[in-house]
Amino acid sequence: MLNEGDDWSKHPLKTVSVVGFGGMGKTTLAKAVYDKLKVQFDCGAFVSVSQNPDIKKVFKNILYEFDKCKYAHIHNTEWQERHLIDELIEFLNNKRYLIVIDDIWNEKSWELIKCAFSKKSPGSKLITTTRIVSVSEACCSSSDDIYRMKPLSNDLSRRLFCKRVFSREEGCPKELVQVSEYILKKCGGIPLAIITIASLMANKHQINTKEQWYALLNSIGRGLTEDRSMEEMKKILLFSYYDLPSYLRPCLLYLSIFPEDSHILRDKLIWKWIAEGFVYSENQESSLYELGKSYFNELVNRSMISPIDIEDNWGEKEEGCSVHDMALDLICSISCEQNFVTILDCTKRKMSNSQSKVHRLSIQNSKVDVETTGMAQVRSLFWTNNIAVKKLDISRFQLLRVLDLEGCNVSDIEYVGNLLHLRYLGLKGTDVQDLPMEIGRLQFLLTLDLRSTWITELPSSIVQLRHLMCLYIDNETKLPPGICIESSRRSSQSVHSWKTWTRGESCLGASTKSMGVEEGRAELYGRMHRSDAESLGKALEESISNIYKLDSLVVFLRNGLINCLSEDWVPPPQLRRLAFPSAGSWFKTLPSWINPSSLPLLSYLEIKLFEVRSEVIQLLGTLPALVYLQILDYYVYRKGHEVEAPVLSSGAALFPCATECSFHGIGAVPSMFPQGAAPRLKHLWFTFPAKWISRENFDLDMRHLPSLQRVEVRVTTKGASRQEVDEAKAALRAAAEDHPNRPGTYTRRTSMYSHHCSLYIVLDI
């Protein structure tokens, strides 16, 4: 429907609306189409509107999606709707764009949103999704442009259900075939209902008997076969909630503090769970963070939350989650009934309980009058982005454990020194310039987030925070001398995450030298000038040796050779993540300490070498736990010289756990992996010159990599004829079609470096 018409230059802006019942997969379908087609357009954006939309925020999100650098701070600025619309019109002028406006609930919202998109943009496409037929009709000029979602067929419903509940080898036992068909019938072909019930059955610890399956069937009631209503859908979702173990229920209800369509960072959520006391272990040796991560993973496995990657302003991805809006409605409803969280939005619909009993308060709209919410019993307080914090006297909340002001227009926090019970303080993205000296009085503080603030130096009293587990600070923030994080066995706080973005001696000299973390998990980020590398290298090695359990090491170095870590350095055997992400820095050769015996647990490696040889890739392939590898031949990538194809021997089972491998500037093809290597590889990125296609016995075969889902190829065109380029593209498509997963292909020409003119080809399922 989107691609109707051969010549896009003659066609105006095309809008297609996807309409269907909640849980049908509208957003999933729109995202799949967006991901497949966006490379064909000049720019694109995927944004959600939700039931109670902030239209200005929608416009800001679109601009931010268009250009994350230019509009990096747009969410912290006060722009009027007219100004934002004009900015969008100007940005999109003479551009061909693809935009998805997801989850529209009323025609009024659409009438305002569509003002930003001119119909004089030939070849541009808009996709809207909605549950309401009249809204979809308002979005489109013709009913032919409305895509009506249909329930899954019986066959697809069965495949989705069985894939989640049973192993691929065994399939559904004969005695359960009939009852599973009855259950599927009550799910009405709705994917959300099917996956919810299937996840519930798959997570039972005991083998489910036929009688237990029939008990579940009878409990569902009418289901969605005859009455496809929100209430019947909620009944099905309720089964999963009541099946949760007691320790997971508060963790799930806690998600009601976030507005609809939020992208929730995993680590931030876990640290809040810990601060609230939801994550607790009687085992003094266990890590609270790791336990919290297991809670997160269990909610994912039960399909209560959906895992996603969240990209920051610098293109780095962090793990996170989202909650389906139907599931969130249920969570908010239960949370309100149990007085677990009180939510204030523009409708105040969740403010049904007595204000004197409010325990956790989530303020989600700047228009809400919060003067009446000064309840002394409040233990947790949250604001959503860019809401002014002027009406509420936070100093009165003496029992506060969690205070999250991320993205709020606040600068004065002198009162925090009096909040003696505080365990989590989030000031990310605020206008705070200084931390008060009284911060040292917060003896229970576990997490302190100061990223994207104006704070340049931490007060000396920060050293008094003896229970601090997690500290986030920015590049320029200086640490005071003598900062030390100590463990406390008596209080079971045995996980320590140290994340610092600092540079020079403040991080890599005295500060890290005296960290003295005795146990738990630590992450160290350092940034150094090249001139400091040798002098600070020994200090860095000594600092790392003082950390009992270093989990992740990321070192930023200014352009040049990395020589801060000596060849005879012995890395911590617990190291799982090792990255040197600076764009212009490299090792001359692979350090000898990167080997299977020194790093048996290493699962993530990002590294650049001046020259990459076959034996280097062979060695990295023997790392037993390696899941992610990104390796770049710096000389070839920058200078555009001829590349050689790696040759890997078939003697050992190489890359046994790898799921993603990126070979940048390294002439590589899938067939370089010997038979049996990389059995779990899902995403492969490689480069090869188009003129190789003329070589005898040149092989792009990828059938022996059974798990492949996505292949990204950079075909360098330097020195190749037009015929060789066309043959290379055709060979890639043929290899893709020959793979059992049958990926599709699309091509984009890139000229990142003039000497390295190339084609960028993606093979995607």
Q: Are residues 14 and 137 in the same domain?
A: yes
pLDDT of residue 494: 31
Which tokens belong to 252? 């799930």
3-state secondary structure of 719: coil
Kind of pairing, strands 628-633 and 585-586?
Answer: unpaired
In a domain, residue 169? The reply is: yes
pLDDT of residue 592: 92
What residues contact 69, with CB distance under 8 A and at least 6 apart? 313
**What is the three-state SS of 291-343?**
HHHHHHHHHHHCCCCEEEEEECCCCCEEEEEECCHHHHHHHHHHHHHCCCCEE
Euclidean distance between CA atoms 495 and 289, whole angstroms: 6
Helix extents (H) in 563-625: 614-620
Closest CA to 421 of 400, 405, 449: 400
State the distance between the two ends of the chain, measured CA to CA, in whole angstroms.
20
Write the DSSP assignment of 375-433 as a string of letters: -TT--EEEE-TT----S--GGG-TT-SEEE-TT-S----GGGGG-TT--EEE-TTS---
Q: Are residues 132 and 172 in the same domain?
A: no
Q: Are residues 48 and 128 in the same domain?
A: yes
pLDDT of residue 522: 45
pLDDT of residue 509: 30
596, 569 contact by CB (below 8 A): no
On the CB side of 133, CA atoms within 13 Å amount to 3
Q: Are residues 191 and 236 in the same domain?
A: yes
Q: Are residues 126 and 176 in the same domain?
A: no
3-state secondary structure of 497: strand
Euclidean distance between CA atoms 668 and 666, whole angstroms: 6
We report the CATH number of the domain holding residue 118 as 3.40.50.300
Q: Are residues 87 and 194 in the same domain?
A: no
Q: Are residues 88 and 127 in the same domain?
A: yes
Question: What residue numbers bound the domain in which 59 lies?
Answer: 8-148
Q: Are residues 29 and 135 in the same domain?
A: yes
Closest CA to 323 of 393, 232, 398, 253: 253
Within the chain, which residues score under 50 in pLDDT?
205, 285, 348-355, 372-374, 484-524, 526, 748-756, 765
In a domain, residue 735? The reply is: no
In a domain, residue 28? The reply is: yes
Q: Where are the strands (E) in 565-680, listed by range?
A: 577-579, 585-586, 604-609, 628-633, 660-667
pLDDT of residue 749: 46
In a domain, residue 232? The reply is: yes
Exposure string over 668-689, b if 16+ CB within 10 A, otherwise e: bbbbbbbeebbeebbbbbbbbb
DSSP 40: G
In a domain, residue 268? The reply is: no
pLDDT of residue 502: 29
**Last residue within a domain, chosen from 242, 271, 298:** 242
In a domain, residue 128? The reply is: yes
Euclidean distance between CA atoms 596 and 586, whole angstroms: 21
Q: Are residues 73 and 181 in the same domain?
A: no
Q: Find the length of the chain.
A: 765
Q: What is the pTM for the complete model shown?
A: 0.72
In a domain, residue 388? The reply is: no
Cβ neighbours around 283 below 10 Å, total: 9
pLDDT of residue 10: 64
pLDDT of residue 264: 93
Euclidean distance between CA atoms 154 and 353, whole angstroms: 44
Q: Are residues 179 and 128 in the same domain?
A: no
**Last residue within a domain, chosen from 242, 274, 301:** 242
Domain count, the chain: 2
Euclidean distance between CA atoms 610 and 605, whole angstroms: 16
Which tokens belong to 287? 């890590």
Cβ neighbours around 369 below 10 Å, total: 9
Would you state the torsion angle of the CA atoms of residues 249, 252, 254, 255, taken in this order, to the nearest 10 degrees? Answer: -170
pLDDT of residue 744: 53
Q: Are residues 142 and 95 in the same domain?
A: yes
pLDDT of residue 309: 84
**Last residue within a domain, chosen from 100, 127, 148:** 148
Q: Are residues 162 and 130 in the same domain?
A: no
In a domain, residue 217? The reply is: yes
